Structure formats: C-alpha cells, structure tokens
Structure 1
Amino acid sequence: MTTTHDERLRRPSGIRSLRLGGTKVSYVPDGAVRLRPTAVLPDTTDRTWADHPEYLDATGHLAGSVGALLVENGDRALLIDSGFGPRSYRPGPDGPIEEIHGGALLDGLAELGRAPEDIEAIAFTHLHADHLGWACLPVPGTGRLAFGHARHLLSEQEWDSRDELAAQGLADEVAALAPRVHTVADGQEIFPGVHARIVPGHTAGHAEYVITGGGRRLIAFGDAAHSPLQIDHPEWSSAFDHDPARTAAHRRRLVTELAEPGTLGFGVHFADVVFGHANPSDGRPTWRPATA
C-alpha cells in the first residue's frame, strides 16, 4: 500500500537514511510526541488548523518525532542529540505537550548495525530533556549510561546558561552531563564534514550542525522549527522558544538556505518527514520530504 504525504505528516518517523557522498546520515527514532497545536504555535488559531487538517492526527494533535541523528563516516560514528530516553511524560491538561515518550533509540542503533560503544561523541543542539535523554538516563535494569564513554559536545553559550536550565527542572540532567562536556565554538569542525553553527533564540546557545559531503549539505537545525508548517510560515515561533523574535528571524534565513540547490534540512520533530528541503510553491517555500 502506498503511503501518502498527508499520512506521513500525521505519524512519527521510523528509521530513515540518506547519503552525502561518503557520509551516511540516519534518523534514529526514540519515541514520539503529541503537541497541542495552538499551544505550541501560539500565533495560530483553530481556523489555521481547520485549514491544515493534514498535520493533525486522529486525536487532533500535532504528531512529532523524538530521536537522534546518526552520522557515519567510515568506521566513525557521531550522534546529534540523544532522544527523550526510557521514560514517558503526560504533563496535564494545559501547555503545549499532550504526551511524550522515548525508549527506542538503542534498538534503532542496533538495527543500523551500531552499538552504543561505537558512538565517539554526542553533539547536542541544546539542553532540553527531549534532546538529552539517553545521555543522562541509565539503561533500564543496569544502572549505567549507554554513552558514558562518549564526549558530550555543547556550544559554549549553552553550557554557560546551564544554571538557568537547571532551575527549570533539569538539574539532574545537567549534573549527569558535566563530567563529559566539551564546549564547541561557532564554525568548529566536530567530526569529519560536520561543523557547529551557533544560532541563539530557541535557547541561549542553540546549535545547528552542518554536514557536507558529495557536493551537498544537510543542516540539522534542531528546534529552530518544530513543524514543517513553520517552513511555510517562519514568522510563527513556538511556545518553547526562549526568544521568539530572534528565532523567527533566524528561521527566515534558514528557510532561504533550505531552498538553495544542494541543501537539505533535518527537522528532528518533523513527524515522518524529517529530511527535506524548502521548495518554493506559489511564492511561499514549502517543506518537501527528501527520499535520497
């Protein structure tokens, strides 16, 4: 049975891979999130979503993916983010999140032929729980961290703001990261063909990672956007953004980049369309999934 584009917008992604020359990148699912549409994108209305029902699942929520990006170059392997970890969370009747869960990341890595020990480093986009998961939480039943051997890479600005994030309930996660943290600077190459790009707005030191190979580049843009609909409407910032105006300004620049030839994007929360590019349609860029 053929899966339609609209069906993919309403479900979380499974494993998806593409190649950039000698580099292979794979989305590794950890779980899923269901978001309350007008709460997560406060500039939208019920009318907005009535006009875009293809983005909402059967319960009326925005379906999102939760996971990590595996970057492989020869025998070497890097993770970008580490999912939500082996837990689930239902925060209550208010706020942007209806439900979020993780736990599948290690199984996904195994399916791709990788053990946790193969991962030399985890490069984090930012210090939020759905990106830190497996780096901070022990493997169930073992008491040990799956990636305790790996370097943990964060922007200098993000790590410098850790006290503020700890005050928001992430003190345990920050403490678990601390022994392995190595800060990175804007433009720094952290892995063959992978450069960090610091773009404050979602958080104080939010990072993107630009992966190049085979004459193409992939921008892993973290939480600069949470939904493909924000590629159509970059002016819509999310309720999670630390500085909505700054994030919107960056997202406009990002959309322009994603429309350039040879440029792809990776949106970790983009339902089952995590890889794609901005394709101008009727004068407005629209997210189009990439298949290879």
Structure 2
Amino acid sequence: MTWKLDCGSFALFVIEDGYYFRDPKTYHAEASEHDWRFYPRNDQGQVRLNFGCYLITNGEHTIMIDAGMGKARTSGPPGMVTGLMPDAVDELGIDRDSVETVIYTHMHYDHIGGSRDPSGTPVFANARHVFHEKEWAFWSTEDTDSARAAQGIVRPFIDADRVDLIDSDAEILPGVTAVESFGHTPGHLTISIISDGTRTLVGGDVSNHPFQVEHPHWSLPVDNDPVAAGRTRDRVFESIRDTGTVFVAGHYPMPGIGQVVTDDGVRVYRPMAAKSAR
C-alpha cells in the first residue's frame, strides 16, 4: 500500500515494500504489551513489522529515499512479503526512469536490496545513488554475509560511476538535506525536508519502534553501536519535540507518520493519519 503526505511544495509517498510477523516477546526484553500498542497483529498475536521506502517529487525533480528489501533475497521469516516497491511506483503513474537520485539512509539490505531486480538490473536506470562515505567504508571492508550482500548491491553502481559519497550533511535538492545521524550504522543518515513553512524528517533506522521515542536507549541487536544509537535517537527526538515536525519511519506501523510530543511531561510518539495515494 502507498500513502501520500504533503510536505509544502513536495509530495512524499510512503511505500510499503514488504512486511513480516513476529512475536513481540522475542524482540525486546524491556518492551511491554503497552509499548506495542500501535502495531496491528495477526490471529497468533504476532505484530506486523514493515519495510518502508519513500518517493519524493515536486513535479520537477523526483527522488527516492531507500529502496526496500526487494525480491532477490529469499531468506527471512516464514511468510515474509517483499519487493512491492517497483509496482507501487508504477501504480503512482511515475516513470521509474525519471527518478534522478536514490538517497540511502544506510546499507542494511532491507534499505538497499530493492534497488536491483532479481536479475541484477537497476530498478531506477538513470538514478545516482547517495551514501555517506563512512557507510561505504564500513560495509566495503567487512567480511560478513551482510557486508557481502551489501557489496553485491552497491559495488556495481560504483563501478558504473553512479554513486555519490558525501562526507557531511548535504543538500540533495533545495529543501531536501541528508543529515548525519550515526549509531545504528557508522554512516547512517536522516533526511530533512523543509518547504513552505513545513518540516518533515525521514528517520531511516534512527528509530525502529515508537517506544524508542520514550526510551531512546532501548537499543536492538541491529544497532552497530548501541550507545551511539541511543544518544543519536535522544538528540534527534529532542530536536523535533513539540515543533510540529512530521517524523516518518519505515519500520513503524504503516504509514509510519507521526510527531514527537510531550504528554504529561513525557516525550512520546503520536501517530498521524495519512491518506491513501490510490
């Protein structure tokens, strides 16, 4: 499914690339049933966990933020659904060849795998691909299954001279800025969209679950540096708290759109409704 969020002169489309179900009791030891309250469940009581990515357009420029898991990876939890993004873009009536840039918040496979189809062909034929240089430096030198999978996706783009590595905060388009937000991975980025008096922050995996708004130091095994990840979460959430900034997160319950607000003195996540793009 796809949702649309108006961000000033930009339209942001939230695209669900896939999902799977998991018993919340196996996910985070400190999280209570109340902490999982925003998540839909199946009839076994498992929570639905999502893979999200985003298309942004202002009519003149079209970019993607992350690309989802894609269809090439066959391993994963039973019943996992992936690779919905390309058809979702097509159904929006947007030519994939018109996508100029794909910004990657980081190089975990569920954010980069969808940039190629199962044959290895780029999904966005004309796009340039933007990563933080610290992200590529880390994944290009690691000798793990995850690193080799990431290298297999990204290195052909590098060999084809289709990659731009940034070394600081960087404006991708006027009003769209990639912001250093390290911790979850060494070169993790969040994406700030400022237009016509509005601000939207696409969080990537700076936070994987709404309960981390209240408990930023509840890290997960997927956090490369749990201490740094917790500090970054706390800093990011405090910076947007009670500011009207819309926070968008691909692993939050879809559409993963909300605000960070103060409720009875406590910093919490407040989900927002969004309209279907179809």
What interval of TM-score do these two structures reach, taking the shorter chain for normalisation?
A: 0.7 to 0.9
1:258 aligned residue:
240
8 Å contact kept, 2:258–2:271:
yes
Counterparts of 1:104 and 1:176, CA distance in 2: 18
Whether 1:111 aligns to 2:91 is yes
Give the number of equivalent residue pairs. 268
* SS at structure 1 position matched to 2:136: helix
Give the partner amino acid of 2:133: E
1:155 aligned residue:
132
Counterparts of 2:90 and 2:211, CA distance in 1: 32
Give the partner amino acid of 2:97: E
Cα offset, 1:145, TM superposition: 2.1
2:152 aligned residue:
175
Counterparts of 1:290 and 1:102, CA distance in 2: 25
Larger proportion of helix: 1
8 Å contact kept, 2:139–2:150:
no
Q: 1:67 aligns with which of 16, 38, 52?
A: 52
Cα gap change, 1:98 to 1:36, in 2 (>3 Å): farther
Normalising by structure 1, report the TM-score. Answer: 0.83
Counterparts of 2:198 and 2:163, CA distance in 1: 30
Give the partner amino acid of 1:176: I
Q: 2:70 aligns with which of 81, 85, 98?
A: 85
Counterparts of 2:244 and 2:273, CA distance in 1: 14
Q: Percent identity?
A: 28
Cα gap change, 1:62 to 1:164, in 2 (>3 Å): farther
8 Å contact kept, 2:96–2:125:
no
Deviations 1:37-79 (A, max 9, x none): 34433443xxx12675553613333322213111112221000
Give the partner amino acid of 2:171: E
Cα gap change, 1:109 to 1:51, in 2 (>3 Å): closer
Cα gap change, 1:201 to 1:100, in 2 (>3 Å): farther
Q: 1:187 aligns with which of 159, 169, 172?
A: 169
Structural RMSD (CA): 2.3
2:104 aligned residue:
124
Whether 1:275 aligns to 2:257 is yes
Q: 2:190 aligns with which of 181, 197, 208?
A: 208
8 Å contact kept, 1:134–1:147:
no
Normalising by structure 2, report the TM-score. Answer: 0.87
Deviations 1:186-232 (A, max 9, x none): 22101231111112111111111111112111111111111112223
1:20 aligned residue:
7
1:5 aligned residue:
none
* 5+ residue gaps, structure 1: 1-13, 92-96
* 5+ residue gaps, structure 2: none
Give the partner amino acid of 1:117: D
Counterparts of 2:79 and 2:188, CA distance in 1: 24
Cα gap change, 1:101 to 1:228, in 2 (>3 Å): same
1:55 aligned residue:
39
Segment drifting more, 282-291 vs 69-78? 282-291
Whether 1:221 aligns to 2:203 is yes
Cα gap change, 1:52 to 1:29, in 2 (>3 Å): closer
